[in-house]
Amino acid sequence: MANRPLSPHLQIWKWGPHMAASILHRVTGDGLALVGLAVLLWWLGAMAGGAESYATFVEIMGSPIGMIVLVGLSWAFFSHMMTGLRHFVMDIGAGYELTTNKTFSVVAPVLGILLTAAFWAVILLK
């Protein structure tokens, strides 16, 4: 067998905030696609089903479990948006310096949490 170099894998790489931010971007995107689509289709079906169906949807989404789902979806949206902006900045060739990349990687999820809190504060305090 030839003495070829092995590709690095997870046991070689050191975990850092940049890896966590990239994984978070993928996880939130998948969550938005799966859970967000399910809630959207349920909402559309409830509207098409009439007043009774829509009242059931509103009741369930207004329950504590429904609110957890909605807050989770909004958190996934804002976190995905912030990490997406991080990836966009890197795609244009900026932010590759180690300190800048680590800073963006920490700031992006924090901004996602802050934007989620602000979004729900506006909704609930209005």
Residue 80 counted as an annotated binding residue: yes
Tally of residues, the chain:
126
Query: CA–CA separation, 33 vs 84, rounded Å?
Result: 15
Joined together, the tokens standing for residue 117 give: 């809190």
| Separation of alpha carbons 37 and 77, rounded Å | 13
Structure tokens at 27: 């996880």
82 near 119, Cβ under 8 Å?
no
Tokens of 73: 């979806």
Which alpha helices (DSSP H) does 11-94 contain, by range? 17-31, 37-49, 51-62, 64-91
Annotated binding site for heme: 80
Annotated binding site: 80
